[in-house]
Homo-oligomer: A and B are copies of this chain.
Amino acid sequence: MIRCMEQLFDYVNQHSEEYIQRLREAVALDSVSADPCKRSRCVDMAHYICEWIERLEGKALVKHIGKQKFADGQVLDYPPVIFGDFCVDPHRPVVLAYCHYDVQPADIQDGWKFNPFELTEEQGKLYGRGATDDKGPLLDWLWAIEAHRQLGIPLPVNLVLCFEGMEESGSFGLDKVIEEESKGLLSRVKYVCITDNYWLTEHRPCLTYGLRGIVFFQVHIRGPQMDLHSGLFGGLIHEPLNDLIHLLHTLTDSQGNILIPKVMDSVAPVTKEEESIYERILFDTEQLRKEAGQVSQLRESDKVKVLMNRWRFPSLSFHGIQGAFSGQGEKTVIPCAVTGKFSIRLVPHQQPQEIAHHVEQFLKQQFDQFHSGNELQVEWRGASPWLGDYHNSNFTAARLAFKKVYQVEPDLTREGGSIPITNTFQEYLGGEICLIPLGSPDDGAHSQNEKMNKHNYIEGIKVIIAYMDELAKQISYQY
């Protein structure tokens, strides 16, 4: 087995120019899912991948989602979900690898150094839209299989690739496809590996075992049937925006701490083990302060507190108000109906339904005390937090893989945001999910000058090779 690893790694080292050339082809297929004019490019990209899967002797399965109606009236097929079936042994569990082949919009006018759809190498960096999000990691999976094929080494695990084409547009249709296939192609999936996030620091790899959930609230307050002039009605009516400001302010204190009763009760207590994980993590809070656009101060400056605030404690952010005057200058209008928007980031063991209930109840209690005669309506939508077990086989395999390739123990990290596909896989497939980031935090996904480091791209192939190898060992230990 060790012999095989060496051969595979050598093969990877010898083919870096080909790897870059093929990433250039993939980036040139400008598969922007949000743009109806580029929908045919998404389809081209899907074909490009399917042909590749078939060249690698996998079975390509194209799952169509249906038709999308755009704001301009166009009706077009959604980009399909592509599966690449590389299973050989029906008696062993299946590993599912997730990536997406669609990309964010990009225009050289927005301040790109190079044409965003023409991959450009400069000082070890591969610039191009989708280079790191998520075409580089997607190709890493294909290259890992290709290396096995070229060397005549069988894949050590039953592998199914799942490549989505609507991730940057809300992953529309994915959950339906996963649900359907949970009884078919995906029925034996036990391990899920998502390669679509980033290291915490450029200097050390990490594995991601947790994500915050979210409940997004829209608090509607309705009063008069039309906007009124404050000269005529100021002082005469209960203004909906006065209600709203008094309502919103009860949710937090001036420091941003959440004051809603019961909401903090279900937050899991911090364990000693967790503390030691956080203490080990390589992270520069001063750099974070700069990334936040030179904010004069963070709420906490200590590394562990900063990271815990981001990852494992809930937070409430106000986003804005709809229906009120939001333009420049002055306008002396009393808005007749306003909607306050805020969200709470959730952590274990908070569940959206439960938190929404507490918030709604509290808002109603407060509002009733105003006796304003206006109408309150609370709307919410939520996603659960996710927490993986970093002691399980999947994480162990990923950890050992990074150690083999980078000679360093990866940090164990979480994310402050949510990655909805994680919940989708957890819900429909169960099993062990692991997020293996391959890109660097400075890659600029979604920004101008997105890039993937050549080093991350090439070593990523080795990480995947080693991961499959280690996971195979973990699986055989169990049988």
A270 interfacial contact with B, CB 8 Å: no
CB atoms of B224 and A417 under 8 A apart:
no
Contact between A235 and B293, CB atoms less than 8 A apart: no
Query: B245, B332, B341: which contacts A325 (Cβ < 8 A)?
Result: B341
Q: How far is the CB of A420 from chain B (nearest CB, A)?
A: 12
Contacting residues, chain B, for A294 (C-beta < 8 A): 224-225
CB within 8 Å for A228 and B292 given contacts A234-B345, A245-B248, A256-B239: yes
Chain B residues, Cβ within 8 Å of A326 = 320-322, 324, 326
Interface residue? A334 (CB, 8 A): yes
Alpha-carbon distance between A345 and B316 when the two chains are bound, in angstroms: 34
Kindly list chain B residues whose C-beta atoms are within 8 Å of the C-beta of A330: 216, 218, 319, 341, 343, 381
A224-B295, A345-B231 known; A306+B416 contact, CB < 8 A: no
User: Which A207-266 residues have C-beta < 8 A from chain B?
Assistant: 212, 214, 216, 218, 223-226, 228-239, 241-243, 245-246, 248-249, 252-256
Q: Is the CB of B415 within 8 A of A242?
A: no
How many copies, total? 2
Q: How far, in whole Å, are A255 and B233 apart by their CA atoms in the complex? A: 14
**B residues in contact with A231, CB < 8 Å:** 212, 214, 345, 415-418
The residues of B that contact A295 with a CB separation of less than 8 Å are 223-224, 237-238, 373
Question: Is A327 part of the contact surface with B, judged by Cβ < 8 Å?
Answer: yes
Contact present for B417 and A318 (CB under 8 Å): no
Tell me the bound Cα distance from A319 to B326 in angstroms: 8
Q: Is the CB of A109 closer than 8 A to any CB of chain B?
A: no
Residue of B nearest to A339 (CB): B328
Contact of A320 among B233, B296, B321, B370 (CB under 8 A): B321
A298 on interface, CB distance cutoff 8 Å: yes
CA of A241 to CA of B319 in the docked complex: distance in angstroms? 8
Q: Which residue of B lies closest to A375 (CB)?
A: B296
In the docked arrangement, what's the CA distance between A310 and B230, Å? 9
Among B226, B309, B320, B381, the residue within 8 A (CB) of A324 is B320
A interface, CB within 8 angstroms of B: 212, 214, 216, 218, 223-226, 228-239, 241-243, 245-246, 248-249, 252-256, 288, 292-300, 306, 309-310, 313-322, 324-328, 330-336, 341, 343, 345, 369-370, 372-374, 381, 415-418
Q: Give the 4 A-B residue pairs with the shortest CB-CB distance, closest first.
A: A231-B417, A235-B315, A225-B293, A320-B324
